């Protein structure tokens, strides 16, 4: 894939992810969180499954692929969002975002321990710098509470889904995988809502528009782009761009909700850009080492 195309798709995807925060906050006025997310993913998954069927995309084959799609939905759709929203009983949404965006470091850790991948010290430094940038973007306000560990579970869930998509994704049509993992995750969230909430949905023009935006843009478009990027590139490098999500979330919250943007968001953004550069910069003069690292990554995938 052309480098500029790749960067453009990654920036577009992370911008959509960031927009989901203020749009979702608007949606919580009309429905409880688990129920809203369940509607979002079930609607998106069902619609995309119909589209995939109409254009002749193959469904998952056999029990193993259905289980794989469900496992990805458990981690990618239900696990990440479930932990993120549940953690907000103890911590703020900003703190939850900071923890969730430690996902790139966890991807590198899991890839190294379980996948046999090898990463340079510069890439580890880039992840650390990116985490500092995300923390700066939210004013360095983060404490250790039950919600901290629940949010961290969501980050591990995100990392697990990233690696599972990289490992199993080649056997799926990406449209079908996006559809059925969202459908599985949405149904899990609806069950969770029935167990923990009193589900309701206030029908208004705004609530319908918000739900459609979350389902069509923040789910269908976002997941198809994200799965495509993970399949075509290194999951650790691609995941490093997730550090941009909280920044886009803050900026879009300022534009859509009128929330204030503090000076430290700019400082955090500079750290984030530096971290992404360090993770993705290949350097020169060490082709043998680069080939060895790439080979290890492919073996781990």
Rounded Cα distance between 74 and 262, Å, is: 36
Give the pLDDT of residue 289: 39
Rounded Cα distance between 198 and 218, Å, is: 25
Rounded Cα distance between 261 and 263, Å, is: 7
> Which string of DSSP letters, residue by residue, matches 192-233?
HHHHHS-------HHHHHHHHHHHIIIIIIHHHHHHHHHHHS
Rounded Cα distance between 220 and 6, Å, is: 19
Backbone angles phi, psi at 288, to 5 degrees: -65, -45
Helices (H), the chain: 3-27, 33-54, 62-73, 80-87, 93-100, 103-114, 121-137, 146-168, 174-196, 205-215, 222-232, 235-240, 244-257, 263-280, 287-300
Rg of the chain over all Cα atoms, to the nearest angstrom: 19
Domain residue ranges in the chain: 3-300
Give the pLDDT of residue 22: 83
DSSP state of 154: H
Give the pLDDT of residue 285: 45
Q: Of the candidates 48, 21, 22, 29, which has an alpha carbon nearest to the alpha carbon of residue 208? A: 29
Low-confidence stretches of the chain (pLDDT beneath 50): 285-301
Give the pLDDT of residue 211: 94
**Which residues neighbour 52 within 8 Å (Cβ) at sequence distance 6 or greater?**
59, 173, 175, 176, 179
Please identify which residue in the block is written with the tokens 């430094």. Answer: 125
- For the chain, the distance separating the N- and C-terminal CA atoms, rounded to the nearest angstrom, is 18
* Measured torsion, CA atoms of residues 113, 118, 123, 128, in degrees rounded to the nearest 10: 10
Give the pLDDT of residue 283: 52
Question: For 120-142, how does the pLDDT look when each residue is reduced to its tens digit (9 = 90+)?
Answer: 787 778 878 877 877 776 666 65
Backbone angles phi, psi at 117, to 5 degrees: -75, 155
Rounded Cα distance between 177 and 183, Å, is: 10
Give the pLDDT of residue 189: 93
Give the pLDDT of residue 298: 37
Q: Of the candidates 151, 187, 210, 213, which has an alpha carbon nearest to the alpha carbon of residue 78? A: 187
What does each C-alpha distance from 200 to 29, 33, 99, 125, 284 come to in angstroms?
A: 11, 10, 29, 46, 57
Largest CA distance in the chain: 61
């Amino acid at each position: 894939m052309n480098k500029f195309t790749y960067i453009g798709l990654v920036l577009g995807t992370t911008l959509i992810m960031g927009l989901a925060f203020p749009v979702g906050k608007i949606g919580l006025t009309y429905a409880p969180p688990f129920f809203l997310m369940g509607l979002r993913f079930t609607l998106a998954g069902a619609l995309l499954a119909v589209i995939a069927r109409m254009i002749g995309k193959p469904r998952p084959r056999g029990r193993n692929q259905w289980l794989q799609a469900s496992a990805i939905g458990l981690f990618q759709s239900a696990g990440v969002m479930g932990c993120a929203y549940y953690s907000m009983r103890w911590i703020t949404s900003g703190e939850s975002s900071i923890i969730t965006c430690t996902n790139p470091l966890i991807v590198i850790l899991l890839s190294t321990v379980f996948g046999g991948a090898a990463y340079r010290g510069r890439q580890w430094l880039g992840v650390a710098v990116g985490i500092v940038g995300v923390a700066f973007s939210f004013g360095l306000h983060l404490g250790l509470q039950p919600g901290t560990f629940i949010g961290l579970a969501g980050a591990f869930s995100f990392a697990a889904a990233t690696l599972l998509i990289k490992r199993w994704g080649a056997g799926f049509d990406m449209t079908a995988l996006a559809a059925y993992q969202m459908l599985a995750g949405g149904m899990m969230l609806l069950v969770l809502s029935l167990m923990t909430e009193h589900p309701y949905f206030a029908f208004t023009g705004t609530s319908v528009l918000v739900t459609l935006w979350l389902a069509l843009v923040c789910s269908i478009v976002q997941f198809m782009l994200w799965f495509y990027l993970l399949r075509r590139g290194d999951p650790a490098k691609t995941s490093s761009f997730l550090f941009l999500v909280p920044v886009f979330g803050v900026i879009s919250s300022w534009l859509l909700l009128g929330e204030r943007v503090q000076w430290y968001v700019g400082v955090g953004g500079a750290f984030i850009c530096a971290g992404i550069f360090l993770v993705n910069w290949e350097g020169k003069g060490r082709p043998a080492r680069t080939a060895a690292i790439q080979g290890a990554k492919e073996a781990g995938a």
